[in-house]
């Protein structure tokens, strides 16, 4: 199911968007899996302070980063495929284009697409 939708009109870096989404859902999260775009020590520290296990691959700048990535449990990190599947399913069934022109209507359209996805999933898998 889709639990949260985040939309931005500026091209913020993923490392700045990730903490916003994590803060909003901190009470419901036990771990957070993300790709290397979300890598950042302040973000990892904030997650750990909130009791959330960060499953974020390190960008490779040194051999220590390779060691951190090798220690990460691929069983848990590889669950990112679930999110990618949801994105693909929404685009395939409901279209990838947003037709609204204003920011508020674009956001509303994305939220409605996610709500329809959740309803379809509930009907299919009761």
pLDDT digits (tens, 9 = 90+) for 73-126: 777 777 778 878 888 888 888 888 888 888 888 889 888 999 999 999 899 876
Nearest to 1 by CA among 119, 112, 92: 119
Q: CA 10 to CA 92: how far, in whole Å?
A: 26
Extract the tokens encoding 96: 């990838």
Distance of CA 111 to the CA centre of its chain: 15
pLDDT tens profile 32-84:
888 777 888 888 899 999 999 888 888 778 888 778 778 777 777 777 788 78
Q: pTM of the full predicted structure?
A: 0.65
Q: Which residue has the higher pLDDT, 14 or 26?
A: 26
DSSP 3-state of 11? coil
The single residue listed with the structure tokens 């901190």 is 26
Locate the domains of the chain by residue range. Answer: 7-72, 74-125
């Amino acid at each position: 199911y889709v639990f949260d939708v985040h939309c931005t009109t500026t091209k913020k870096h993923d490392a700045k968007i990730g903490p916003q989404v994590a803060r909003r859902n901190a009470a419901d999260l036990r771990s957070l899996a993300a790709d290397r775009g979300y890598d950042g020590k302040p973000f990892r520290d904030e997650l750990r302070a909130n009791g959330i296990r960060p499953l974020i691959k390190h960008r490779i700048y040194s051999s220590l980063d390779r060691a951190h990535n090798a220690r990460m449990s691929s069983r848990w990190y590889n669950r990112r495929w679930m999110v990618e599947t949801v994105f693909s399913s929404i685009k395939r069934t409901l279209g990838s284009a947003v037709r609204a022109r204003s920011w508020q209507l674009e956001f509303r359209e994305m939220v409605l697409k996610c709500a329809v996805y959740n309803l379809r999933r509930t009907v299919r898998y009761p």
